[in-house]
Copies of this chain bind each other. A is one copy, B any other.
Amino acid sequence: MAELTGVQKQYILHWGEMGTRWGINRTVAQIHALLYLSPRAIPAEEIAETLSVARSNVSTSIRELETWGIVRAVHVLGDRREHYESMKDVWEMFRLVIEQRKRREIDPTREILRQCLTDLDPKELGADYTRERLAAMAGFFEAVTELYDQMKRLPTGTVRKLLRMGTKVRKKAG
């Protein structure tokens, strides 16, 4: 088993912390970081050793990463074990994560807000005010969804290109 270099350790630890701050399990994030930096696929046993976590913990975490679609199992000739590798395209990885967090969190929130606006009894005290606030929040989430849909339609790399253009334009103007 390859020992981690200082830089690898630093990256993996930081990525774990980042994870926790965004509601992603630390070990899950660390495993992802490890696989992302690895030029080869790694079997679960070795992941467990490298990060000093239980084999079973790796199993669960890998499954999570697989459902995100950013890690997959590959097979190595003459080895029965599953070896795991991370997607390497950073933009695509974040796209996948964002897509799914939208589906799991933003969409249900939109639904709840719509439900609240429907359920709101106009007779109850301060219903008008509540409706106003709920509608404003709902509008925001609809706009975010709209923005997301528009982004999604752009072909890969376009965001990056637009970004570069924007920078040039600003430089000319400034």
Contacts and interface: CB of A to CB of B under 8 A. Distances in A.
28 contacts: A2-B125, A5-B124, A5-B125, A5-B130, A7-B116, A7-B119, A7-B130, A7-B134, A10-B112, A11-B112, A11-B113, A14-B109, A18-B109, A20-B23, A21-B23, A21-B105, A22-B22, A36-B137, A37-B129, A37-B130, A39-B129, A88-B136, A90-B136, A90-B140, A143-B163, A146-B166, A146-B167, A147-B159
Contacts of A159: 143, 147
A126 interface: yes
Interface of A: 2, 5-8, 10-11, 14, 18, 20-23, 36-37, 39, 88, 90-91, 94, 105, 109, 112-113, 115-116, 119-121, 124-126, 129-130, 133-134, 136-137, 139-140, 143, 146-147, 150, 153, 159-160, 163, 166-167, 170
Contacts of A116: 7, 10-11
Contacts of A150: 163, 166-167, 170
The dominant DSSP class at the A interface is helix
**Taking the full assembly, how many copies of this chain does it contain?**
2
